[in-house]
Structure 1
């Protein structure tokens, strides 16, 4: 059954050359029994074809349409993740890495929220979140973070590890995202610490409800984090935010997360980073400008 599943996926795979000897495999509709099918782009570094015996770490990234290509990205500005990774690898600053860019759907808001944190939300807050999701095109009406992670871990990662020469252990498996994508990336590492050894969370949307006066959703996430913290001895976390636009409200929330992480045994400069980028705003252009910092934290030699 699994063999037929993988064979069916490969029938829909299209290989196209990317810039500077990279290869991107696109699966237009990756099927799932947990969430709606979606596009997945898998970028292979040039070293993948050069050495048939080499295996590579894998970075799973949210909002995949914004990760690799300006043509599909919001405002036609992507993170330029593939070229940045390739340039750093060529300079021997990082290890070559496979990047799996997972496109979002209209259920993004519900899929990217750390579902177990909803236990600490009020009924009115849950209702407001469902209304926000509805305005963004979702008709599900339920939190979907747990199902999204089941898709990510139980289906997508299984496919990637079976199809490509990957280093499958947690030490070589990382996850990354921005805004709500930062929340689900944190959640993935907390829920599946045996799968994800590192997480990078840019401009993490701690407020959730876009309301600076209601801090309870942020407190709910921290309550969850405190109860499910992965051991600091074998996990690594990167957080950051700017000071412009939506990012301007993140500072107080991030400072409390920083204190929680430090109380839990994480050490700045070792297995934990938290950074502030003055003037940076909440958009792909800003995340693109500092993605090299993320890669150096995750894969720097």
Structure 2
């Protein structure tokens, strides 16, 4: 039902999967697909691991978990023929010594369940009761973000820790995504602060649903953030947005989030919000600025957060 609503709005692409029609390839490093996991209460999906050139010569590696995995590496396999260029950007930063050595774990999305998987589940309960009582598709949707994160934390991460030459502690474990992927990345950090020490929420879809919808979903997300932010000095947060297409809705919402961060005591270098003039809500724009969140998360001069 929720998908039918969004297909009538201008945010259709939020739910499109980019299902690959050919095997993904990378131009730098190596991409491998993990064996199938057991899936409980979420739809089955592929999980890929990108390894930089020379792996495992610089062990132990940090780990960056990313969502919408089929959109990250190979434009031939994406629905819109765009990609993040994660392999190229990450490889170049590592070659230049600008970031700590790291691998990327890329979890694909499933079109039919993407919104339910990525929306911060506990935030919906923070809407006013009058809003929750409305006959709105969002209120009837079965949210699965808690199950998705449980899959990530209890199945995917232990597999990565056992089978790859990586540092297992939170100070070397990061998470990133865009749009709804930005929301689930933030939610992961707040729900599992002992697992993830830093997050990059890129073009974060703060409205939560259609940007012109009147249901107070964005306010509920902010309330959840305000109630669950860890103490300053233990975690790091990166936010950004463009100024075109869907991103044009984000500046006032991001400003309200920034106020929450400031009031909680966050400041540079543990928190950063960036605006990118002329950038749209698409993979081409995220590719252009991908180096910025990677440097924030993994910069070679970034101090390890105290635990």
TM-score range, shorter chain: 0.7 to 0.9
Q: Is 2:54 the partner of 1:47?
A: yes
Q: Distance in 1 between matches of 2:135 and 2:145?
A: 14
Contact 2:70 / 2:78 at 8 angstroms: preserved in 1? yes
Contact 2:26 / 2:74 at 8 angstroms: preserved in 1? no
Write the mapping of 1:207-218 to structure 2, written as runs, cut at 5 A: 207-212=207-212, 214=214, 216-218=216-218
Post-superposition CA distance 1:247-271 (Å, at most 9, x none): 0000111001011011112113x11
Write the mapping of 1:44-123 to structure 2, written as runs, cut at 5 A: 44-51=51-58, 54-105=59-110, 106-121=112-127, 122-123=131-132
Alignment partner of 2:39: what SS? coil
Q: Distance in 1 between matches of 2:68 and 2:86?
A: 12
Gaps of 5+ in 1: 1-14, 132-140
Q: Is 2:33 the partner of 1:30?
A: no
Structure 1 26/129 Cα, relative in aligned 2: closer, same or farther at 3 Å?
Answer: same
Q: Distance in 2 between matches of 1:227 and 1:126?
A: 27
Return the offset for 1:19.
2.2
Specify the alignment match of 1:148 in structure 2. 148
Q: Distance in 2 between matches of 1:125 and 1:163?
A: 47
Contact 2:24 / 2:77 at 8 angstroms: preserved in 1? no
Q: Distance in 1 between matches of 2:181 and 2:36?
A: 20
Alignment partner of 1:120: what SS? coil
Q: Distance in 2 between matches of 1:142 and 1:215?
A: 17
Write the mapping of 1:207-246 to structure 2, written as runs, cut at 5 A: 207-212=207-212, 214=214, 216-246=216-246
Q: Distance in 2 between matches of 1:16 and 1:256?
A: 39
Alignment partner of 2:76: what SS? coil
Structure 1 48/264 Cα, relative in aligned 2: closer, same or farther at 3 Å?
Answer: same
Contact 2:145 / 2:184 at 8 angstroms: preserved in 1? yes
Specify the alignment match of 1:294 in structure 2. 293
Contact 1:47 / 1:96 at 8 angstroms: preserved in 2? no
Give the superposed CA RMSD: 1.9
Gaps of 5+ in 2: 1-22, 301-307
Return the offset for 1:16.
8.9
User: TM-score w.r.t. structure 1 length?
Assistant: 0.86
Alignment partner of 2:146: what SS? helix
Contact 1:95 / 1:300 at 8 angstroms: preserved in 2? yes
Post-superposition CA distance 1:266-293 (Å, at most 9, x none): 113x111101111111101111111011
Q: Distance in 1 between matches of 2:135 and 2:274?
A: 30
Structure 1 16/118 Cα, relative in aligned 2: closer, same or farther at 3 Å?
Answer: closer
Return the offset for 1:35.
1.6
Return the offset for 1:92.
0.9
* Segment drifting more, 203-212 vs 170-179: 203-212
Contact 2:173 / 2:196 at 8 angstroms: preserved in 1? yes
Contact 1:78 / 1:288 at 8 angstroms: preserved in 2? yes
Q: Distance in 2 between matches of 1:44 and 1:124?
A: 47
Write the mapping of 1:4-15 to structure 2, written as runs, cut at 5 A: none
Specify the alignment match of 1:257 in structure 2. 257
Q: Is 2:135 the partner of 1:129?
A: no
